[in-house]
Copies of this chain bind each other. A is one copy, B any other.
Amino acid sequence: MERFEEKVRASFARQKFMSMLRAEMVSVTPGTVEIRLPYSAEIGQQNGFAHAGAITSILDSACGYAALSVARAEAEVLSVEFKVNLLAPAVGDFFIARASVKRSGKTLCVCTADAIAFSNGEEKVIATMLATMIYMPNEHA
């Protein structure tokens, strides 16, 4: 495993919230990350769909780790801000957040990510994120 992937996977393993959600890191390349979230009733909102907050959680982690995958060796990443559009009800057997780096600067990194629902082998984009990450040490916003 290459250095950037080790670093990303080690940091992801420390995110207890990802374990609570039973989310897993699927893939890491320089500039892209995929995270998988299984559906369960526990993450539901009032209609039983996955809560927008659960979907946002994997989108945010995926964007952060996409940024980290291209960061300098010693740098860390924190979320500055993000916007999420919910495109369809979050119904499915599981969800994948697919993030990629749009532009990486000296201090900031802009990422985009889609959340895709998988049901009986069919895919549907259910949400999309546009996010700004900051490389640390630098301070948090």
Pick the residue among B43, B60, B88, B130 that contacts A20 (CB under 8 A).
B43
* Known contacts A14-B46, A53-B58, A61-B53, A107 near B134 by CB under 8 Å: yes
**Which A residues, 3 to 21, have Cβ-Cβ distances below 8 Å to chain B?**
11-12, 14-20
User: Is A139 at the interface (CB under 8 A from chain B)?
Assistant: yes
User: Is A84 at the interface (CB under 8 A from chain B)?
Assistant: yes
User: Total interface residues on A, using CB and 8 Å?
Assistant: 56
Q: Kindly report how many copies of this chain are found in the complex they form together.
A: 4
Residues 97-141 of A, flagged 1 when their CB comes within 8 A of B and 0 if not, give 000001101111010100000000000010010101010001111
Query: Chain B: which residue is nearest A59 at the CB level?
Result: B53
